[in-house]
Each structure stands twice: as C-alpha cells, then as structure tokens.
C-alpha cells in the first residue's frame, strides 16, 4: 500500500513538472500578433531558388494547409528563406509537416513564413518509449529517475538559463544549480539513505575540485568563451555584457557533473550491497572494496567521455584527416583545445569523485566503525585441523 501511494505521488509530481515546463515557455520569440502553428505542405514553388554549391540560396514559396489552432483548415502561402547554410536550411516538398509563423492583422492572415519541420510529435513518441522502457525495467526506481530527469530539465530551462541571460555570475550560479540538481537526482533515486548521501557528498566534492582545475587550466590554455556553438549569435543578439569565458567554464562543469553523479552512485551502491551481504565487514575493508569498484568504473568512464565528445565533432575530425592536417596544428587549434580541455577536466573530476565517495560511504555505512583491521582471507596457519572422531556407537546408530 505504501509503495502504491509513493508511485501515485511520483506520477502526480511528474505531471506537475511537465505542466510547469510547457506552460512556463509560452513565448514564441515573435511579435504579439504572430502565432506558431503546424501545417502540411501541399505545393511548392522553387523558381526563386539558386543552387550555391551543395547549398541553396533564395526563397521557396510553399502552399500550406494549417492543421491546428483558430486557423485550422485555412490555406496560406508561406515563404521559406534559404541562406546557403546546410545545417539550418530546409527545402520542403508536398506532404511535409512544418511549423509556420502566421501574422494576423484585424483577424486576417497577412503573412506567413516557414520555421522548421514539425518534429515534436515524434520527439514525444521517442520520449514515451524511453519512459516506458525505464519504468518497465526499473519500476519504482524508473519513476524516480523520470522525476529527476524532468526536474533537471525544468531547473535548467526555467531557472538556470534565464539567470545566465540576465547576467548573473555564471560560476557561482552553476555551482549552486549543480549542487541542487545533484541533490534532487541522487536523493530522488536512492532516497535519503546512507549510500544516497554518500553519493551526493562525493559528487559535490568532485565538482569543487573540477571547478578549481577548470579555472587553473582554462587560464593556462587561454581559452575564451567563443568556442561553444552559437556564442557569436548570442553576442550579436545583445549579449555584450555576458561573461562568455565563465559561461564556457560552466558548460564544462555541467558536462562533467552527469558522469560524476554516475560514478558516485556506482561506488556507493556497490558498497551498500557489500555491506548488506556482509554486515560484519570493517570500515577499512569496505573502503578498499569501494576503491576497487571505482577503479574499474573509471577505466571505462574516461573513454566514454572521449567517445561522447568526439561524436559531436566527428565531421570536424574527418575534415582534418581528409586535408592531412598535422597533429601539432590540430591540438593547438582553439576549438580542438577546448574539447581536449572538456575531456581531460571531466576525466580528472571522475578520478576525484570515486575515492572521495568510497571514503564517505565507508564511514557512513559502517557508522564510523573504527575497525581498520582487514580480516584475513585465509587462515594464518597452514596446518589443517584434524577431523573430530565420533564414537563408534553414534556411527552405528545412523
């Protein structure tokens, strides 16, 4: 009954968080008389498009039937501006579902333009597959993980990013937000337990050390904040007063925090399982077990960071190889140096999280037990004790 009540509470919290997230972002970035509406392309006019190498420039005109809102069923002519940027431009064909910006004046549509393909329905389907798989496998823990996932998304989107845009000091803000997220994510999954608290404290200590390394080596490598995507766009749109260097450092911390929480939870949960199976284990032996678990996890986690960051810049690496660029030139490029910085700072942060978490978990799980003697795995003497002989009458009576 208690578990069913907990599940019901989690479901209600998830619904509330979803509602807050979607209703908290009603702004469209458009004037007040412009609405964003989905529609279906029924015809296109490509006469004003000029091919420019692999890309295209010019204007495409699309005839679109609006499929939602007050103008559902209405047909409009929407313009699609192409700037020769393959990563941003989209050329539509009949049958495509797209998102429109529709301008109204005196209850009449006066203009319409295309924004992007309409993808959010399939994104919701993909999220639903993720949620169902998570809950089916992890059950109540899966619901807790969903709660922490949505809570983290809400904190980042509704609090963290708006405050960065408002000019709040990025590093103190980032550290405070990451401590809050670590608390929500770890304690919602593990509960307010000894191993949950150990994972949280280990993560926070690791983040503090990572921050110090970020500040020191960031200055030595002379890394500015303009290496991150869309930094120039943000600057042109009025972000002249923002500290882009510290925003870049905050991005490094944010990227490392997820892996730090992961390894802290791995170590603390493993130690908790050991303690539950061997209640007589001493603190020193338990900490040594935590160190062994941490070593194994770090062995693969550092490579995971390398692959994760390299995947985001795969095409850039392909360009370097195709042009025969020297290794010396590659590693000294600002953009490449920034990614090397991310990978190594994150990996060193993991190296700090694992042992700190092991020590904290060892103290908490043993209740501060000062038994530092390691129990021998084999008898100290090689002599085999003689078998006890039973009286003959006992053997005959069997």
User: What pLDDT was estimated at residue 298?
Assistant: 86
Question: 199: closest CA among 148, 253, 262?
Answer: 262
Question: Does a structural domain hold residue 191?
Answer: yes
Contacts of 77 (CB under 8 A, 6+ apart): 61, 62, 63, 64, 112
Joined tokens for residue 133 = 């798989």
Residue 377 in domain: no
Residues in CB range of 387: below 8 A, 6 or more apart: none
pLDDT value of position 175:
93
Most confident of 4-8, 268-272, 384-388: 268-272
Q: pLDDT confidence of 265, banded at 50, 70, 90?
A: very high
Q: What are phi and psi of 204, to 5 degrees?
A: -65, -45
| pLDDT tens track for 59-86 | 999 999 999 888 899 999 999 998 888 7
3-class DSSP assignment, residue 90: coil
Query: 262 and 202 in one domain?
Result: yes
Is the pLDDT at 370 greater than 60? The verdict is no
86 lies in the same domain as 214: no
Mean pLDDT of the chain: 82
pLDDT confidence band for 381 (50 / 70 / 90): very low
Separation in Å, CA 196 to CA 137, 186, 187, 262: 21, 6, 6, 12
Same domain for 204 and 237, yes or no, is yes
Domain that holds residue 151: 121-161
pTM of the model: 0.76
Do 156 and 210 reside in the same domain of the chain?
no
- Is 271 inside any structural domain? yes
Cα distances (angstroms) measured from residue 60 to each of 42, 63, 368: 13, 10, 71
Query: Is 80 exceeded by the pLDDT of residue 398?
Result: no
3-state secondary structure 20-82: HHHHCCCCCCCCCCEEEEEEEEEEEECCCEEEECCEEEEEEEEEEEECCCCCCCCEEEEEEEE
Please write the tens of the pLDDT for every residue from 135-150.
899 888 888 888 888 8
Q: Which of 93, 118, 143 is the last residue of a domain?
A: 118
More confident residue, 305 or 221: 221
Number of domains in the chain: 3
Token pair, residue 185, equals 């994510």
The three-state (H, E, C) secondary structure of 283-324, written as one string = HHHHHHHHHHHHHHHHHHHHHHHHHHHHHHCHHHHHHHHHHC
Whether residues 71 and 190 fall in one domain: no
Residue 267 in any domain: the answer is yes
Between strands 34-45 and 75-83, the pairing is unpaired
- Residue 11 above 60 pLDDT? no
pLDDT band, very low/low/confident/very high, at 184 (cuts 50, 70, 90): confident
**329 and 180 belong to one structural domain:** yes
């Amino acid at each position: 009954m208690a578990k069913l009540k907990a599940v019901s509470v989690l479901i209600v919290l998830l619904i509330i968080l979803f509602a807050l997230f979607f209703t908290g972002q009603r702004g469209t970035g458009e004037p007040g008389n412009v609405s964003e509406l989905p529609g279906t392309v029924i015809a296109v006019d490509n006469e004003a498009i000029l091919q420019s190498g692999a890309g295209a420039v010019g204007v495409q005109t699309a005839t679109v039937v609006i499929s939602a809102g007050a103008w559902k069923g209405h047909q409009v002519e929407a313009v699609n501006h192409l700037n020769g940027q393959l990563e941003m431009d989209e050329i539509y064909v009949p049958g495509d579902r797209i998102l429109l910006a529709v301008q109204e004046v005196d209850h009449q549509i006066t203009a319409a333009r295309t924004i992007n393909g309409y993808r959010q329905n399939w994104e919701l389907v993909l999220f639903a597959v993720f949620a169902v798989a998570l809950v089916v496998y992890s059950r109540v823990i899966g619901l807790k993980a969903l709660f922490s996932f949505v809570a983290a998304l809400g904190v980042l989107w509704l609090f963290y990013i708006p405050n960065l845009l408002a000019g709040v000091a990025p590093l103190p803000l980032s550290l405070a937000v990451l401590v809050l997220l670590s608390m929500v994510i770890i304690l919602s999954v593990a509960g307010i337990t000894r191993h949950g608290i150990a994972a949280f404290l280990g993560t926070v200590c690791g983040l503090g050390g990572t921050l110090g390394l970020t500040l020191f080596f960031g200055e030595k490598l002379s890394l500015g904040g303009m290496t991150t995507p869309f930094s120039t766009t943000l600057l042109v749109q009025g972000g002249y007063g923002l500290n882009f260097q510290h925003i870049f450092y905050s991005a490094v911390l944010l990227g490392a925090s997820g892996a730090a929480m992961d390894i802290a939870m791995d170590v603390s949960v493993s130690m908790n399982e050991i303690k539950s199976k061997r209640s007589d284990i001493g603190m020193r032996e338990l900490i040594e077990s935590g160190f062994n678990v941490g070593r194994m996890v770090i062995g693969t986690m550092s490579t995971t960071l390398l692959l994760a960051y390299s995947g985001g810049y795969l095409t850039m690496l392909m360009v370097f190889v195709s042009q025969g660029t020297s290794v010396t030139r590659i590693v000294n490029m600002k953009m490449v140096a920034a990614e090397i910085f991310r990978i190594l700072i994150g990996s060193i942060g993991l190296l700090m999280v694992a042992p700190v978490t092991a020590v904290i978990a060892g103290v908490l799980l043993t209740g501060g037990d000062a038994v530092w003697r390691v129990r021998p795995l084999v008898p100290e003497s090689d002599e085999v004790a003689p078998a006890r002989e039973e009286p003959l009458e006992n053997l005959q009576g069997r």
